Amino acid sequence: MNYKKAYRCKVDLKMLREEMNLSKEFVANEIGYSVRNLERIEKNNAVASEEAAHRICTLYKLKYEETFAIYDDRDHMERVFKNIRKIPKNQIRQNETYYLLYVNYQGFFRDCVLGKVGWIENCGKNMERRKLRNVNPEGVVKLNPGIIILNEEDEWMNWYCNLIVGKWNKVMISESCLMRCMRSCLDEVVVSSDELLRFDGFYDMAFLGVKKRSKRKSKNKRG
């Protein structure tokens, strides 16, 4: 098998184009590709050359050093095959609590994670304590028939190792699985009201985990 290095974008290129109301034809012409090749670039969120990456940054007014990184597909494939390849069964288990997360893979164990958080109490000027809210799993599946449901650690690892850099991925995960795989997402967060986001139609979304995440201003920010 031939492995190639790719320049992978940490921002979802398709989402960025749509937020800027740019057509595929316009963007493809600006960066020197066909529409079909642009669709492939947006699907993989990557380009094969540094020159193409710079053209994309120029078009979208992004900083190349902060936006693109070189990833070796061989490293990615080795991580996949080293782990138990248990494909998620997408089952809802009785007596389990479930959460809905949006995971943006930025590199191995370097992620941005969004979740809908519920208010606990105020704690200072314009600051609030909040915590990830659980969801009705049947309701989530009804609205999202093809959503991935994770219950076990090896299911999570199989799903995680196949994520594309820079893409937002919606997933429903059981509390027991979350405790083992992304425990910090269950910790309380302290945020100001203007730090909360609107994402994918949901309000009161916050970045979860132990690391602070800078967020790009967009139409998703709650005004």
Confidence tier at 142 by pLDDT (50, 70, 90)? very high
Poorest-confidence range of 28-42, 91-105, 167-181, 196-210? 196-210
Residue 2 predicted with pLDDT over 70: no
Q: pTM of the full predicted structure? A: 0.80
Q: Higher-confidence residue: 137 or 86? A: 137
How wide is the angle at C-alpha 27 spanned by C-alphas 25 and 33, nearest 5°?
80
| Residues 150, 174: Cα–Cα separation, whole Å | 6
Residues of the chain with CATH 1.10.260.40: 5-82
Residue 81 predicted with pLDDT over 90: no
The single residue listed with the structure tokens 């990456």 is 53
What percent of the chain has a predicted confidence (pLDDT) above 70? 84
Contact 147, 139 (CB under 8 A): no
Tokens found for residue 131 = 């915590």
Residue 109: φ, ψ to 5°: 60, 30
Poorest-confidence range of 66-75, 175-184, 202-211? 66-75
Average confidence (pLDDT) over 97-116: 87
* CATH topology classification for 5-82: 434 Repressor (Amino-terminal Domain) (1.10.260)
Average confidence (pLDDT) over 48-53: 94
| Residues 196, 187: Cα–Cα separation, whole Å | 16
